[in-house]
Amino acid sequence: MEREAKKETFRKYLDSSGVLDALTKVLVSLYEENDKPSSAVEFIQQKLGGPSISEYEKLQAEKLDLQLRYDELFAAHQETCRQLEDLRSSKYTENCKETMNGGTERENL
């Protein structure tokens, strides 16, 4: 009984959110097509506003390329930050040595 209640709740949700109307319209337009498309799935995706399968695959490949590029740039950024910290650390060490050897801190600024 609980399962039937869940189904009914879900059906009402689909109806109130407009999903049933949208799917019905797309399926009716597919039915009324004189020249049936080779891919019904692509037809439905196109009518609902989503990318075609080939566009989706192209976007996935582009996303992968961008992720790889991001990873490369992030690694380079981390390395640059490490080098900067090393330089700051060595500069600080030099300033400390000069101060201890008779120079004033003001001269080092």
Say yes or no: 19 and 60 in one domain: no
For residues 17 and 69, membership in a common domain is answered with: no
Query: Do 64 and 107 share a domain, yes or no?
Result: yes
Asked if 24 and 59 sit in the same domain, the reply is no
Residue 86 belongs to what H/E stretch? helix 53-100
Whether the CB-CB separation of 53 and 42 falls below 8 Å is answered with yes
Q: How far lies 60's CA from each of 45, 65, 74, in Å?
A: 16, 9, 21
Helices and strands counted in the chain (H then E): 5, 0
Same domain, residue pair 14 and 46: yes
| pLDDT of 106 over the 70 cut | no
Is the domain of 57 the same as that of 104? yes
Does 60 lie in the same domain as 33?
Answer: no
Q: What is the rounded CA–CA span in Å between residue 21 and residue 71?
A: 43
Number of C-alpha atoms within 13 angstroms, CB side, residue 106?
A: 0
Q: Are residues 64 and 40 in the same domain?
A: no
The domain of 38 spans 1-50
Residues 62 and 96 in one domain: yes
Query: In terms of domains, do 24 and 39 share one?
Result: yes
Q: What is the pLDDT of residues 38-61, one digit of tens each?
A: 999 989 988 998 777 788 899 999
Tens-digit pLDDT profile for residues 96-105: 777 777 655 5
Number of domains in the chain: 2
pLDDT at 55 (0 to 100): 86
Reduced to 3 states (helix: H, G, I; strand: E, B; else coil), residue 104 is coil
Q: Are residues 63 and 76 in the same domain?
A: yes
